[in-house]
């Protein structure tokens, strides 16, 4: 990686502003999945061990520039404090006199968390005054929020213009692992794409078609390709706006694209709807394709065998409902069983499916960045990364 990291600075005694990604799911006022908090621990612990004054900041949800009690980082600070096994104070406003006063009293090795950055409109607007106010709390800036690096906000880009800015250890790992996929992947390099948001992902399809040795397509994404190839898809989720692009990609890269041969179709969208497995030529009118079928699973598994690198984004079906989860879970298990391959999974729903399959620990890298991961794999420069000091 060509960016400086926390290991390239001497944080001892310094006030270090650390942008983390604590945008975690909350349920009944508790953190329901603390993966993102855990992912930031190595950087925080590194700074504690090196006697920095650690000032953490993050966004949570979309409060639209106004203080919103339900989106307070209170539940996060409680969980973080448990995980670090030390008290962590929540600073009730991320900028202003009270924040400056509290930071002024911090001892080396102490950790505080600033309240939700998006309580201020200046965060998402990347307002230079707001960025300057944030930066004034610290001597150094560490960005460990890979998941927010595709956004040019005050806490990702603005502060990096005011302070010496380096990558945290999580950011470094994401950039290393994903960077290798773009520059020098172990081959055969295969990508698996699915999910619902075809428009968001068509850029990734294009980019990966150029780089990968094969592209396995399932989920709503496959419906769009199948329809573009002339199949009748009934009432299936299809991105009509992307049929032309899909047709063009089919013409250009037919040999690299592996599409479903069979599908689990249902008469309605709920778990009790009548369902059956059909070939891709036989989707009944009015029915919906909600999962890939067993022949497709077998052909995807066969194609994956011997892979050097596999990148997966997007479930193969509506895995939230048990009758349509098998394709997605089978692919998760197939990835976990690839000996010696580098396997990389990104996307909130895809990660949830990997956890549901219970194979999380057998995946090489679970990316913490959904949109950021996709934009990176698309070959785009991420503004939050660009803003960091070059090595
Ligand atoms: P990720 O969060 O991993 O990036 P997406 O958000 O793009 O993935 O897609 C996940 C959603 O796609 C899931 O809610 C899943 O139910 C839905 N999905 C997958 N296949 C289908 C399908 N055939 N029809 C409708 N929805 C689908
Ligand atoms: Mg999603």
CATH number at residue 146: 3.40.50.1260
Helix (H) or strand (E) holding 79: helix 74-84
- Distances, alpha carbon 322 to alpha carbons 80, 346, 353, in Å: 33, 22, 11
Ligand 2 midpoint to CA 348 (Å)? 5
The answer to whether position 178 is within a domain reads no
Ligand located closest to 320 CA? 1
Residue ending a domain, choose from 130, 145, 173: 173
Residue entry with tokens 């391959």: 341
Are 342 and 364 a contacting pair, CB within 8 Å? yes
Say what the pLDDT of residue 254 is: 87
- Verify that 148 and 13 share a domain, yes or no: yes
Active site residues per annotation: 36, 197, 348, 371
> What gap in Å lies between CA 156 and CA 147, rounded to an integer?
11
Q: Is residue 335 part of a domain?
A: yes
Does a structural domain hold residue 388?
no
Both 220 and 290 in a single domain?
Answer: yes
- Residue 157 maps to a domain: yes
What lies within 8 Å, CB to CB, of 79 at 6+ separation is: 30, 31, 34, 37
The verdict on 213 and 327 lying in the same domain is: yes
Q: In what order do the strands lie in the sheet with 262-266?
A: 275-279, 262-266, 288-292
Q: Do 326 and 200 share a structural domain?
A: yes
Whether residues 153 and 232 fall in one domain? no
**Angstrom distance (rounded) from CA 58 to CA 73:** 8
Q: Are residues 199 and 291 in the same domain?
A: yes
Question: End of a domain among 121, 144, 173?
Answer: 173
Pick the atom of ligand 1 nearest to 200's CA.
7
Q: Which residues contact 343 (CB under 8 A, 6 or more apart)?
A: 309, 310, 312, 335, 336, 363, 364, 365
Task: Find the 282 Cα to ligand 2 centroid distance in Å.
Answer: 28
**Cβ 91 vs Cβ 115: under 8 Å:** yes
Measured by CA distance, the residue closest to atom 4 of ligand 1 is 347
Task: Give me the helices (H) in 91-242, please.
Answer: 97-104, 121-125, 128-135, 169-183, 198-211, 219-228
Each of the 391 residues of the chain gets a pLDDT tens digit; together they read 899 999 999 999 999 999 999 999 999 999 999 999 999 999 999 999 999 999 999 999 999 999 999 999 999 999 999 999 999 999 999 999 999 999 999 999 999 999 999 999 999 999 999 999 999 999 999 999 999 999 999 999 999 999 999 999 999 999 999 999 999 999 999 999 999 988 889 999 999 999 999 999 999 999 999 999 999 999 999 999 999 999 999 999 989 999 999 999 999 999 999 999 999 999 999 999 999 999 999 999 999 999 999 999 999 999 999 999 999 999 999 999 998 999 999 999 999 999 999 999 999 999 998 899 999 999 999 999 999 999 9
The pair of structure tokens assigned to 68 is 């919103």
Residues 123 and 261 in one domain: no
Distance from residue 30's CA to the centre of ligand 2 (Å): 21
**Residue 179 included in any domain:** no
Residue 151, SS3 per DSSP: coil
Which residues, judged by CB distance below 6 Å to any ligand atom, belong to the binding site of ligand 1? 194-197, 219-220, 223, 237, 289-290, 313-315, 317-318, 320, 347-350, 370
Q: Indicate which atom in ligand 1 lies nearest the CA of residue 350.
A: 3
- Tell me whether residue 145 is in a domain: yes
Two tokens at 118?
A: 């998006």
Cβ atoms of 334 and 299 within 8 Å: the answer is: no
Are 228 and 266 in a shared domain?
yes
Task: Mark which of 173, 208, 241 sits at the end of a domain.
Answer: 173
144 and 289 in a single domain? The answer is no
- The count of structural domains within the chain is 2
Which among 20, 35, 136 has a CA at the least distance from the CA of 365? 35
pLDDT of res. 197? 80
| 332 and 204 assigned to the same domain | yes
33, 194, 196: which to mutate for ligand 1, most atoms within 8 A of CB? 196
Which range marks the domain in which residue 325 is found?
Answer: 185-377
- In a domain, residue 225? The reply is yes
For ligand 1, what atom is nearest to the CA of residue 370? 4
Pairing type for strands 111-114 and 89-91 reads: parallel
Residue 30 in any domain: the answer is yes
Write down the pLDDT at residue 200: 86
Listing DSSP states for 241-283 in one string gives GGHHHHHHHHHHHTTTEE--SEEEEESSSSTTS-EEEEETT-P
Asked if 211 and 244 sit in the same domain, the reply is yes
Angle between helix 35-49 and 74-84 (nearest 10): 60
Q: Quick one: 259 and 117 in the same domain?
A: no
Give dist(CA 352, CA 319) in Å, integer.
10
| Helical axes 169-183 vs 35-49, angle rounded to 10° | 120
């Amino acid at each position: 990686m060509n960016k400086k990291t926390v290991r390239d600075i001497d944080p001892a005694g310094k006030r270090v502003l650390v942008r983390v990604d604590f945008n975690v799911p909350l349920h009944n006022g508790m953190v329901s999945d603390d993966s993102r908090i855990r992912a930031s621990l190595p950087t925080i612990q590194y700074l504690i061990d090196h006697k920095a004054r650690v000032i953490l900041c993050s966004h949570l949800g979309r409060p639209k520039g106004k203080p919103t009690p339900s989106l307070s980082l209170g539940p996060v600070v409680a969980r973080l404090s448990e995980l670090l096994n030390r008290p962590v104070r929540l600073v009730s406003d991320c900028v202003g006199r009270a924040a400056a006063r509290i930071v002024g009293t911090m001892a080396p090795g102490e950790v505080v968390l600033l309240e939700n950055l998006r309580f201020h409109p200046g965060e998402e607007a990347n307002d230079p005054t707001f960025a300057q106010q944030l930066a004034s709390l610290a001597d150094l800036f560490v960005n460990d929020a890979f998941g927010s690096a595709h956004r040019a906000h005050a806490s990702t880009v603005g502060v990096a213009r005011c302070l010496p800015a380096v990558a945290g250890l999580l950011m470094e790992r994401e950039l290393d692992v994903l960077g290798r996929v773009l520059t020098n992947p172990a081959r055969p390099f295969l990508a698996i794409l699915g999910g619902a948001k075809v428009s968001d992902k068509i850029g990734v399809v294009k980019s990966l078609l150029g780089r990968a040795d094969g592209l396995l397509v399932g989920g709503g994404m496959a419906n769009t390709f199948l329809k573009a190839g002339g199949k009748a898809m009934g009432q299936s989720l299809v991105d009509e706006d992307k049929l032309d692009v899909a047709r063009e990609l089919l013409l250009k890269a037919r040999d690299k694209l592996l599409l479903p041969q069979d599908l689990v179709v249902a008469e309605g969208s709920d778990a009790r709807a009548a369902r059956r497995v059909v070939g891709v030529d036989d989707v009944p009118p009015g029915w919906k394709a909600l999962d890939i079928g067993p022949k497709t699973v077998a052909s995807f598994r066969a194609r994956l065998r011997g892979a050097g690198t596999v990148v997966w984004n997007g479930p193969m079906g509506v895995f939230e409902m048990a009758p349509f989860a098998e394709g997605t879970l089978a692919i998760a298990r197939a990835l976990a069983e690839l000996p010696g391959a580098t396997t990389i999974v990104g996307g909130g729903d895809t990660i949830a499916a990997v956890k549901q399959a219970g194979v999380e620990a057998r995946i090489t890298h679970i990316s913490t960045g959904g949109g950021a991961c996709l934009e990176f794999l698309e070959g785009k420069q991420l503004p939050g990364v660009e803003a960091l000091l070059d090595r």
